[in-house]
């Protein structure tokens, strides 16, 4: 990663223009060219330095539903339960964490009703209680990573 | 009004063009010199219509932002701890806003308790280069909150079991 890559990461975490030639407009602020900016973004995506480039949608405001859920999975059943939980397409992220509640996943659905159904189906499929932690208030979202 | 109350007023079924725009861009914006024009051709509408719609979605918050999403792990932020706090309900909004402003915190939400198993109602994700750094950041939050936090914990992630990103169907 060179200086230009760093500046792209630091300065382009938001604010990409909605204009006819947005890469050209963004490139000017980064003191580079349109084609160079496009190439750099493509390379950093291919290389895995960037997870994504584009609009980040606010799921609930699009009418969808999200929730963070947790399970207490007995150690001996962990791998089996991972397979079952991950098989649900509504499970977007799933992390193992160090706690008695050792599996934490995010459910994302197009409607709030589908979210409730997914929770019931996961409980039925795993035989474990799903602890549901829907967002009540959002105070901050958006890591601005500086490199 | 809490933010979640504000959401419920805005929730609406996205119309067909909005939905098709999400489907066309949720994997990313085209890396073409005229990406909005390229999308317009794909969707069979005018470029001005796409740009106006995207601008409107930015303004009403359906699009949070447009830009790069760096891969934390590749940038060396390999430790992530979910810090969780038991905060009295009557002060949680003040505390949540204060914690959310800290540089080390990437997400900060009020979520429900599940008593008696789970007394925590404030969740703040803390990223760092290693566990020590995350623990120091969480200690700093504990100092900042003092007696306003009745108890807290950090749940470190030990393994990513699935990460597909958010997708709608279609």
Residue B4: pLDDT over 50: no
Across B88-92, average pLDDT: 98
- CATH number at B31 reads 1.10.10
| Residue B45, min C-alpha distance to chain A (Å) | 15
Which residues of chain B make contact with A16, given a CB cutoff of 8 A?
29, 66-67
A68 and A130 fall within a common domain: yes
Across B23-28, average pLDDT: 90
Q: Is residue B77 part of a domain?
A: yes
Look at residue A140 and give its three-state secondary structure. strand
**C-alpha B96, offset from chain centre:** 14
B48 and B102 fall within a common domain: no
Q: How many domains, chain B?
A: 2
d(CA A19, CA B41): 16
B41 and B102 fall within a common domain: no
Q: Is residue A130 part of a domain?
A: yes
pLDDT score at B7: 40
pLDDT score at A60: 85
Residue B3: pLDDT over 80: no
A74 and A98 fall within a common domain: yes
A73 and A122 fall within a common domain: yes
* Three-state SS letters, B43-111: HCCCHHHHHHHHHHHHHCCCEEEEEEEECCHHHCCCEEEEEEEECCHHHHHHHHHHHHCCCCEEEEEEC
Which residues of chain A make contact with B157, given a CB cutoff of 8 A?
95-97
Of B3, B31, B158, nearest to A42 by CB-CB distance is B31
Assign B13 a pLDDT band (cuts: 50, 70, 90): very low
Across B37-63, average pLDDT: 95
Q: What is the ipTM of this complex?
A: 0.85
Which residues of chain A make contact with B54, given a CB cutoff of 8 A?
18, 55
Q: Is residue A53 part of a domain?
A: no
Nearest to A138 by CA among B118, B54, B106, B134: B106
- In this predicted structure, which of A26-35, B142-151, B160-169 has the lowest mean pLDDT? B160-169
Q: Pick out chain A residues at pLDDT < 70.
A: 143-145
Which residues of chain B make contact with A69, given a CB cutoff of 8 A?
none
Q: Which domain holds residue A8?
A: 3-47
Of A9, A38, A94, nearest to B161 by CB-CB distance is A94
pLDDT score at B168: 56
pLDDT score at B164: 75
Longest dimension (CA), chain A: 57
Query: What CA dihedral angle connects B29, B30, B32 and B33, to 10 degrees?
Result: -30
Assign B170 a pLDDT band (cuts: 50, 70, 90): very low
Q: Is B168–A137 a contact, with Cβ atoms under 8 angstroms apart?
A: no
**Residues A67 and A111 sit within 8 Å (Cβ to Cβ):** no
Assign B12 a pLDDT band (cuts: 50, 70, 90): very low
Q: Is residue A98 part of a domain?
A: yes
Across B18-30, average pLDDT: 91
B77 and B149 fall within a common domain: yes
Q: Is residue A140 part of a domain?
A: no
Residue B169: pLDDT over 80: no
State pLDDT tens for residues B98-140: 999 998 899 999 999 999 999 999 999 999 999 999 999 999 9
Q: Is residue B104 part of a domain?
A: yes
Q: How many domains, chain A?
A: 2
**Residues B155 and B139 sit within 8 Å (Cβ to Cβ):** no
B113 and B139 fall within a common domain: yes
A22 and A84 fall within a common domain: no
A65 and A130 fall within a common domain: yes
Q: Is residue A19 part of a domain?
A: yes
- CATH number at B142 reads 3.30.70.3460
Taking each helix axis from N to C end, the angle separating B35-43 and A22-29, rounded to the nearest 10 degrees, works out to: 160
Q: Is B33–A141 a contact, with Cβ atoms under 8 angstroms apart?
A: no
Residue written as token pair 């079924």: B13
Q: Is A16–B71 a contact, with Cβ atoms under 8 angstroms apart?
A: no
pLDDT score at B9: 37
CB B168: neighbour CB atoms within 10 A?
Answer: 17
| Residue A120, min C-alpha distance to chain B (Å) | 17
**Residues B98 and B144 sit within 8 Å (Cβ to Cβ):** yes
pLDDT score at B76: 85
B91 and B152 fall within a common domain: yes
Q: Is residue A141 part of a domain?
A: no
**C-alpha B138, offset from chain centre:** 19
A127 and A95 fall within a common domain: yes
- CATH number at A101 reads 3.30.70.3460
Q: Is residue A38 part of a domain?
A: yes
Q: Which domain holds residue B37?
A: 16-60
């Amino acid at each position: 990663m060179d200086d230009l890559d760093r500046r792209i990461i630091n300065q382009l975490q938001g604010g990409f223009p909605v204009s006819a030639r947005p890469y050209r407009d963004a490139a000017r602020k980064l003191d580079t060219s349109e084609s160079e900016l496009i190439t750099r973004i493509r390379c950093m995506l291919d290389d895995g330095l960037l997870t994504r480039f584009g609009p980040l949608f606010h799921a609930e405001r699009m009418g969808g539903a999200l929730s963070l859920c947790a399970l207490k999975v007995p150690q001996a059943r962990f791998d089996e339960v991972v397979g079952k939980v991950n098989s649900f397409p509504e499970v977007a992220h799933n992390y193992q964490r160090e706690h008695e509640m050792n599996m934490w996943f995010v459910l994302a659905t197009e409607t709030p009703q589908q979210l409730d159904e997914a929770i019931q189906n996961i409980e039925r499929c795993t035989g474990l209680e799903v602890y549901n932690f829907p967002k009540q208030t959002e105070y901050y979202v958006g890591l601005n990573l500086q490199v | 009004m809490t933010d979640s109350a504000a959401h419920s007023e805005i929730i609406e079924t996205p119309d067909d063009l909005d939905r098709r725009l999400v489907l066309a861009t949720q994997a990313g914006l085209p890396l073409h010199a005229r990406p909005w024009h390229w999308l317009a051709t794909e969707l069979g509408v005018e470029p001005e219509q796409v740009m106006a719609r995207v601008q409107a979605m930015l303004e009403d918050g359906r699009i949070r932002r447009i830009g790069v999403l760096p891969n934390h792990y590749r940038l060396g932020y390999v430790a992530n701890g979910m810090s969780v706090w038991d905060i009295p309900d009557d002060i949680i909004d003040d505390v949540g806003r204060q914690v959310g402003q800290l540089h080390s915190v990437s997400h900060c939400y009020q979520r429900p308790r599940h008593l008696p198993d789970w007394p925590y109602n404030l969740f703040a994700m803390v990223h760092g280069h290693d566990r020590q750094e995350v623990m120091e950041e969480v200690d700093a939050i504990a100092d900042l909150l003092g007696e306003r936090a009745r108890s807290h914990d950090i749940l470190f992630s030990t393994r990513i079991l699935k990460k597909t990103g958010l997708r709608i169907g279609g």
